[in-house]
Structure 1
Amino acid sequence: MNVMAKAEKKISSAFIYFFGSFGGILFGYDIGVMTGALPFLQADWHLENAASLVGWITSAVMFGAIFGGALAGQLSDKFGRRKMILMSAIVFMVFSVLSGVSPDMGEASAYYLIIVRMLLGLAVGAASALVPAYMSEMALAKARGRLSGLNQTMIVSGMLLSYVVDFLLKDLPGEWAWRLMLGLAAVPALILFLGVLRLPESPRFLLRKGDEAQARKVLSYIRKNPAEIDQELASIKETAKEERQANQKTSWSTLFSGKYRYLVIAGVGVAAFQQFQGANAIFYYIPLIVQKATGQAASSNLMWPIVQGVILVIGSLVYMWIADKFNRRTLLMVGGAVMGLSFILPAVINWMMPNMNPMTIVVFLCIYVAFYSFTWAPLTWVLVGEIFPLAIRGRASGLASSFNWIGSWLVGLIFPIMTASMPQEAVFAIFGIICILGVIFVKTCVPETRGHTLEEIEEQGTNRGRVKASNPEN
């Protein structure tokens, strides 16, 4: 017992941050890996003309994640954050390996891989919800504000890592290439499991279970000042009491009452628009997009995902630099406008000059990714974390996350179907119009949250609800 206590005391906040961040890398790797694997998988299983199956294979992970995040949130309240992260890592390892060893049984192989990737998605959704939550509960209060930007940087770093792995494996025989790309996702999952195995449980969870002595002990590993520990314990108790009272007084219908409706629509709407704007169509299908534009084989275009990954990482660092210098609404509207034009202009140019260079669309996609990376990508979750009042925060955040995953799944599913039935420029123009609608939505429906307390933001929603109640025709 003394050996365990001594080992636990060596756990530093840097170690906790590293493995919290590593969860983001794991999440990002699985988002990006199919980008390089898909061209080889299509050729190996002769799926070039099976747009629906390709869409389902790609989007199955996001479909599973819709349910994984919701289940993990409930189970973590019962079993603990740490145990559920460990369970998620195990599920991730098992189904990553099962993806890589998919049997070759004709069309049945595609259905096998879809089911396996849906189950893998349960772990992806769980990790995306649990790891940042655990990290924020362990972090110093003054460090929590930077977690959204840090987590986004780690996610896109994981995507970049998967693109590099895909590129390094591209010269293997086709069957081995895609199998190793998918199966190697088990490696970061194993690293996450071994790292989290050494971490203590969240003090917030321990207090909820009535184990104050253990919660104090855990805080003593990462807080040096006894007075600071006492203050944080008291703060956690008070917050937990407020949340219990809030949960007793609210239901799902409360989210859409006059007092909260404005803020719920704003937060959930931004989360949904982030995905329906089409970013994941680029991340999942960029080699196929280049193939359709140039006629070159998709498997020879795996440098383009790396270019996109580098842009995403740089953009996430730019966001961390500018996050507190500009209003949230300003960044979202500027980013959305440029993203929309980046999608619409290639269609306009192609209409005016039918013989335009086919790589023009790829250049505009890079501009889209650059602006997405430091606006809508990180700011969606910053805003969702700030905009919901305490009384509805749990349910509203869960609803926003679900709509985000639904959007991610639908874009991954329908993009290959759309490009099989219409020109790529027209498909991206549709996404461009959605981007412009997102700008209008932010302008008319989303309050500014930078520099405002949670109480001030809630008051904006209350005042808006009163105005709507007194002017129902509006």
Structure 2
Amino acid sequence: MADRTTDDNTVSSQPQKTIEDFDPPQKPKRNKYAFACAILASMTSILLGYDIGVMSGAAIYIKDDLKISDVEVEVLLGILNLYSLIGSAAAGRTSDWVGRRYTIVLAGAIFFVGALLMGFATNYAFLMFGRFVAGIGVGYALMIAPVYTAEVSPASSRGFLTSFPEVFINAGILLGYVSNYAFSKLPKHLGWRLMLGVGAIPSIFLAVGVLAMPESPRWLVMQGRLGDATRVLDKTSDSKEESMLRLADIKEAAGIPEHCTDDVVQVPKRSQGQDVWKELLLHPTPAVRHILICVVGIHFFQQASGIDAVVLYSPRIFKKAGITNSDKILLCTVAVGFVKTVFILVATFFVDKVGRRPLLLASVAGMILSLTGLGLGLTIIDQNHERILWAIVLCLTMVLLYVAFFSIGMGPITWVYSSEIFPLKLRAQGCSIGVATNRVVSGVLSMTFISLYKAITIGGAFFLYAAIASVAWVFFFTMLPETHGRTLEDMEVLFGKFHKWRKANALLKQKKNASHGDGNTNNGQVQLGTRGQVN
């Protein structure tokens, strides 16, 4: 009993611990202000999604009404992607000139005009002009939405918030499919014009809603408006400390001395977009070269693995699979849009928990299997004159699986990854290169799909896409480091090693474990030194 009393006294002499002392640091609550900004900016992407979805069904009626050939249908569906290159190329300079926010407004206004032109088109040439105008608006929207979202997002939810553009692309595709079905009962000459013209309505609300958003804090710093940037960072950060750290990182990247606290300062010329293209393309550092290869590669493979062929030509695919009723075909396309949208929502909640690489690699592996299954099913149907019910079910299932796997990784992570790894002063132009790659490949694929499947059979076309997806998996596994939990300004530590990036990643993990051992968890995030070195 004496010993026990001694033990009790010993225990009682120590500070009493509470349950909270044994709990891990709590994850910061979702920043509602940053959340609202990300939603408003990302809704601009609904314009591209709607155009993709609505054109897949409208093309059926346009072909019959305007009496155009299959080649003209291919060009009509795919040319918007090439037109969007003009918008994405101009968006980088425009966003540095007038700001991210007004660039989003401009994207909505241009698409509004394009949608009206397409809706009132009287012939093929008029329709193509409308596609040209709408394509410029789409290019602006594709480049600026992920850039703005990444720049206002706190590190704890950057992956979640920067996946929103892909969410709204999918929502737009679903709305386009629903519009096809809703207007399919109208007279042929009126139905497709309403399908296309209705796309002007959301662009009005988007342009007005964006005016309620703050400007990007990184753009404000680039203009020397430190006071405005600080106020935005205070609202969009999880804590005052994070806001100060983010401001310090951005000031260093912009070449502003850390001790400078004036509301308005003179920014060194090097941060005003001078020689950006030279630093990106002519004399890049090893880190920038690695980043550029990763961004071009991920955008190339996102489109080259066949997503636009499935989404744009799904009515033809289902018809080739043996579904002949037009109402059933359009309902199947609605199912594709629904599945694609549901699974993109699943992805947004896991991108900051699981990480970029695991989701991306699992997504591409699933795409390879589903493309192979779709190619097999279509080949069997193509070589048999009798209706084979199980093969039809296989094709429909594989299409749904393909868009589901695409949505959980390849779709959103392409935009998340490319918007977060470029250094500040190269980000707008670097992302525009990624978008340009994306749109060129999408345009080429969209404008050659019918010719391709006529040359190598429709099953052979999907076997080809499966082979490309296999190459993509190897590229991603080899070249792309994990960026989850890293600050935007300190990405360079993971890049520049190319396929040997794992050594830098291991060093970061060691530093993180050491900080935990010292009791300095810093909310579980690794603090890197300036210029990408580990402290």
Which of the pair has the greater relative contact order for Cα pairs under 8 Å at 6+ separation? Answer: 1
Instruction: Count the aligned residue pairs.
Output: 447
Is the Cα–Cα contact under 8 Å of residues 290 and 298 in structure 1 kept in the other structure?
A: no
Percent identity, please: 30
2:433 corresponds to 1:404: no
Is the Cα–Cα contact under 8 Å of residues 62 and 118 in structure 1 kept in the other structure?
A: no
- Alpha-carbon distance change, 34 to 214 in structure 1, aligned in 2, over 3 angstroms: same
Q: Give the match for residue 37 of structure 1.
A: 58
2:309 corresponds to 1:272: no
How far apart, in 2, do the equivalents of 1:87 and 1:118 lie? 15
Q: Give the match for residue 75 of structure 1.
A: 94
- Alpha-carbon distance change, 459 to 266 in structure 1, aligned in 2, over 3 angstroms: closer
Q: What SS does structure 1 have at the residue aligned with 2:395?
A: helix
More deviation, 403-412/230-239: 230-239
- Alpha-carbon distance change, 394 to 188 in structure 1, aligned in 2, over 3 angstroms: closer
Written as runs of structure 1 = structure 2, the 5 A alignment for 1:93-172 is 93-103=112-122, 109-172=123-186
How far apart, in 2, do the equivalents of 1:381 and 1:388 lie? 12
More deviation, 152-161/197-206: 197-206
What are the ranges of 5 or more consecutive residues in structure 1 without an aligned counterpart?
1-10, 104-108, 465-474
Is the Cα–Cα contact under 8 Å of residues 250 and 391 in structure 1 kept in the other structure?
A: no
How high is the TM-score relative to the length of structure 1? 0.83
How far apart, in 2, do the equivalents of 1:459 and 1:327 lie? 21
Is the Cα–Cα contact under 8 Å of residues 55 and 414 in structure 1 kept in the other structure?
A: yes
2:461 corresponds to 1:427: yes
What are the ranges of 5 or more consecutive residues in structure 2 without an aligned counterpart?
1-31, 257-269, 502-535
Q: Give the match for residue 472 of structure 1.
A: none
1:127 CA displacement: 1.3
Q: Give the match for residue 105 of structure 2.
A: 86
Amino acid aligned to 1:79: V
2:491 corresponds to 1:454: yes
**Of 336, 343, 354, which aligns to 1:308?**
336
Is the Cα–Cα contact under 8 Å of residues 287 and 299 in structure 1 kept in the other structure?
A: no
Is the Cα–Cα contact under 8 Å of residues 145 and 165 in structure 2 kept in the other structure?
A: no
1:201 CA displacement: 3.6
Is the Cα–Cα contact under 8 Å of residues 252 and 395 in structure 1 kept in the other structure?
A: no
Written as runs of structure 1 = structure 2, the 5 A alignment for 1:290-305 is 290-294=318-322, 296=324, 298=326, 301-305=329-333
How far apart, in 2, do the equivalents of 1:412 and 1:324 lie? 32
Q: What SS does structure 1 have at the residue aligned with 2:185?
A: coil
Q: Give the match for residue 15 of structure 2.
A: none
Amino acid aligned to 2:101: R
More deviation, 58-67/200-209: 200-209
1:14 CA displacement: 5.8
Q: What SS does structure 1 have at the residue aligned with 2:448?
A: helix
Q: Give the match for residue 470 of structure 1.
A: none
1:46 CA displacement: 2.1
1:293 CA displacement: 2.5
Amino acid aligned to 1:148: T
2:41 corresponds to 1:27: no
2:361 corresponds to 1:333: yes
Amino acid aligned to 1:457: L
- Alpha-carbon distance change, 389 to 214 in structure 1, aligned in 2, over 3 angstroms: closer
Written as runs of structure 1 = structure 2, the 5 A alignment for 1:305-384 is 305-326=333-354, 328-348=356-376, 354-355=383-384, 356-357=388-389, 359=392, 360-384=394-418
Say what the alpha-carbon RMSD is for the aligned residues: 3.3
- Alpha-carbon distance change, 12 to 432 in structure 1, aligned in 2, over 3 angstroms: closer
How far apart, in 2, do the equivalents of 1:278 and 1:164 lie? 22
Is the Cα–Cα contact under 8 Å of residues 149 and 162 in structure 2 kept in the other structure?
A: no
More deviation, 382-391/284-293: 382-391
How far apart, in 1, do the equivalents of 2:227 and 2:355 lie? 42
Amino acid aligned to 2:57: G
- Alpha-carbon distance change, 402 to 14 in structure 1, aligned in 2, over 3 angstroms: closer
How far apart, in 1, do the equivalents of 2:36 and 2:302 lie? 32
Larger radius of gyration: 2
More deviation, 265-274/452-461: 452-461
Q: What SS does structure 2 have at the residue aligned with 1:294?
A: coil
Deviations 1:225-248 (A, max 9, x none): 888766655544333228729965
How far apart, in 1, do the equivalents of 2:468 and 2:452 lie? 15
Is the Cα–Cα contact under 8 Å of residues 153 and 313 in structure 1 kept in the other structure?
A: yes
- Alpha-carbon distance change, 71 to 372 in structure 1, aligned in 2, over 3 angstroms: same
Deviations 1:165-215 (A, max 9, x none): 221111111111110110001000011122123444444434433444555
1:160 CA displacement: 1.3
- Alpha-carbon distance change, 18 to 373 in structure 1, aligned in 2, over 3 angstroms: closer
Q: Give the match for residue 13 of structure 2.
A: none
1:277 CA displacement: 0.4
Deviations 1:264-297 (A, max 9, x none): 3233112101100001111111112212322625
Amino acid aligned to 1:272: F
Structure (1 or 2) with the greater helix fraction: 1
- Alpha-carbon distance change, 328 to 16 in structure 1, aligned in 2, over 3 angstroms: closer
How far apart, in 2, do the equivalents of 1:448 and 1:18 lie? 25
How far apart, in 2, do the equivalents of 1:393 and 1:443 lie? 24
More deviation, 76-85/441-450: 441-450
- Alpha-carbon distance change, 77 to 439 in structure 1, aligned in 2, over 3 angstroms: same
How high is the TM-score relative to the length of structure 2? 0.74
- Alpha-carbon distance change, 280 to 24 in structure 1, aligned in 2, over 3 angstroms: same
1:342 CA displacement: 1.9
2:439 corresponds to 1:418: no
How far apart, in 2, do the equivalents of 1:350 and 1:228 lie? 54
How far apart, in 2, do the equivalents of 1:277 and 1:253 lie? 29
